Amino acid sequence: MARHASELQSLLVDGSFDGEVYPNEPLARHTTYRIGGPARFFVQVDSIGALGSLLEVCERSGAAWYVVGKGSNLLVADEGFSGVVITLGRDFRMFNYDEDARIVSAGGGCSLSALIREMFRRSLGGLEFAAGTPGTVGGALRMNAGSRQEWIGSRVRSVTTVRPCEGLRRYGADQLLWDYRRSSIPADEVVVECELSVKPVDPFCIRGKMEASLSRRSKTQPLSLPSCGSVFRNPDGASAAQLIESCGLKGCRVGGAEVSSVHANFIVNADGATAYDVIRLIKQIQTKVHEVHGIDLQPEVRFLGFA
């Protein structure tokens, strides 16, 4: 990256650049794991123009880039990331409701929890199942947040992205595929906005579903300790948590990383865990579950900065 830094640095120090730039920013400050070394540049872009310019310069100069929302579902290497970490700011956190069409438009940088609260305030139903889910709208779309029974992709009317050097792209609902914890949104495009179908619902009904979702999370997830959420995808017809627990791995620890005693599919940062601690524990779990059940658990958590 150093050979190409001049053009990138010129953009980021330009007073007209619509965003905020933090060189060598520790990513532990921006992940729910509270783990991770520095990014060469951590950049909050506040407009489509700034995002497009930054992506174009990164692509042209060969600088690696990665988009983060609230930093959930992400493990960053202890050495950090030698590229540009991008987060969506001001213009990407907007919310609008078209009452006639019954469509909510939300920016990719919107907090999912904030969007759900705003919908509740307007007595709009459709996302109650996601109450308490961390992250942004963009991240929720990319990972198709939800369960096998209810998921955000089922509410989508359209998704708008930015593709480096090409600009905006809009996908209708019929152009995207949604699967358990995944979507067909291209990995090299940045989600900047979506349209969601909603409907007016009795607010007492919405509140009941939201409270049930929040109560379930508080009882079944280790919310008092830093984590990335579920570490592994559930295999077809099985529960990753049950497989791990059946191997006697609850409470298993490597350094400061520990398999939660509350939910076995959570690895928590119990005491100053490093990314290396988490990786070693992930591999131990995969090895044990394969030995006992013959199943290869696939990580749901995403990795940044690893060789």
The predicted structure's pLDDT at residue 175? 96
Over the stretch 17-71, which tens digit does the pLDDT of each residue have? Answer: 999 999 999 999 999 999 999 999 999 999 999 999 999 999 999 999 999 999 9
CATH number of 2-91: 3.30.43.10
Burial class (CB in 10 A: 0-12, 13-18, 19+), 65: buried
Distance CA 158, CA 171 (A): 5
Is the predicted pLDDT of residue 77 greater than 60, yes or no? yes
Over the stretch 252-280, which tens digit does the pLDDT of each residue have? Answer: 999 999 999 999 999 999 999 999 999 99
The predicted structure's pLDDT at residue 180? 85
The predicted structure's pLDDT at residue 48? 97
2 — pLDDT class (breaks 50, 70, 90) = very low
> Is 94-219 a domain of CATH 3.30.465.10?
yes
DSSP symbol at 48: H
Burial class (CB in 10 A: 0-12, 13-18, 19+), 290: middle
The predicted structure's pLDDT at residue 3? 46
What is the maximum alpha-carbon separation in the chain? 59
Active site residues: 181, 230, 300
251 — pLDDT class (breaks 50, 70, 90) = very high
The predicted structure's pLDDT at residue 286? 98
- Domain regions of the chain by residue span: 2-91, 94-219, 222-304
CATH number of 222-304: 3.90.78.10
The predicted structure's pLDDT at residue 6? 67
146 — pLDDT class (breaks 50, 70, 90) = confident
